[in-house]
Amino acid sequence: MASIDNLLVSLLVDEVVGGFIVTIPPGHVGCIYSVFRGVLRNVWYPGMHFKVPIIHRVKLFNAQLIEYTIAKDIVLKDNKEIMGDEVINAVTSDNKFVAVEATVLIKLDTERLPEIWQNIGENFVSKVVRPVTRSRIRKVLTNHTLMNALSTDRSLIEEEVTSELRESLAGHGLNVENFYLSSLTPIEGWQITDGDLPRAVETGVVQPKTAEQIRNERLFTNQPESDTNNGLGHRL
């Protein structure tokens, strides 16, 4: 799972000649922070670049296609900024719960990296990517029955989630290439009934609302996660 361990940022960097020269490796780009001017607008692409020691700090971002993996073997407790998520529980239009595993292919808009770094900060996986991905997957699944989701609607669900994610993440400088469902697993014995959601509430899948409210909103979100101090990169 090396593709997600390095997040969206590479730690590979060469700084030589007393800190005056920085080498950007292939597949990465660099953003520059100036102690006097803040985040600079220019982006450094692979190759050798000159910087002013002490005045300039460089952060390297992975410019390649990144896999955001939603799977049961991912644990967020130790690293909220990992490029992935635990299994997502969602509900279908006929009020059946399913466990979702999937993969999202994401690529940073390199021209907008200074804007991303300036406006969102370093923890944009937990701030933007994860909550948006969760909500859009749940939103799409509320439009499909369990039987159709497991059979005829699989490709349609992938297309709809891809469209939703592209629209939602493009404004944050993140380009979604595609979305692939790995598995949809029915959660046996779970069904929403009017005025009685003890199992759903207890597990945190949905908040304590009536079934009527849930059907009207057709959107499910978890409790917001707290920000972490884990950085996404390496400054020089």
- Specify the pairing of strand 47-50 against strand 38-44: unpaired
| Contact (Cβ atoms closer than 8 angstroms) between residue 84 and residue 101 | no
| Contact (Cβ atoms closer than 8 angstroms) between residue 92 and residue 12 | no
pLDDT, one tens digit per residue, over 56-104 is: 888 888 888 999 999 998 888 878 888 899 999 999 999 999 999 999 9
pTM of the model: 0.69
Q: Is the pLDDT of residue 150 over 80?
A: yes
Q: Cα–Cα distance between 138 and 126 in angstroms, integer? A: 17
Residue 34 DSSP SS3: strand
State the average pLDDT for the chain: 77
Q: Is 152 exposed, middle or buried (0-12, 13-18, 19+ CB in 10 A)?
A: exposed
Q: Is the dihedral of CA 203, 205, 106, 41 positive or negative?
A: negative
pLDDT at position 20, please?
82
Q: Which of 188, 205, 199 lies closest to 134, judged by CA?
A: 205
Helix/strand/coil percentages in the chain, nearest 5: 30, 35, 35
Q: Is the pLDDT of residue 152 over 80?
A: yes
CATH number of 66-217: 3.30.479.30
Residue 6 DSSP SS3: coil
pLDDT at position 125, please?
87
pLDDT at position 70, please?
95
| Domain parsing of the chain, residue ranges | 2-62, 66-217
Q: Is the pLDDT of residue 194 over 70?
A: no
pLDDT, one tens digit per residue, over 197-226 is: 433 433 344 443 444 544 454 444 444 444
pLDDT at position 234, please?
45
pLDDT at position 187, please?
86
Q: Is the pLDDT of residue 138 over 70?
A: yes
- Please give the residue that has the higher pLDDT: either 226 or 186: 186
H or E element, residue 168: helix 154-169
Q: Cα–Cα distance between 197 and 206 in angstroms, integer? A: 9
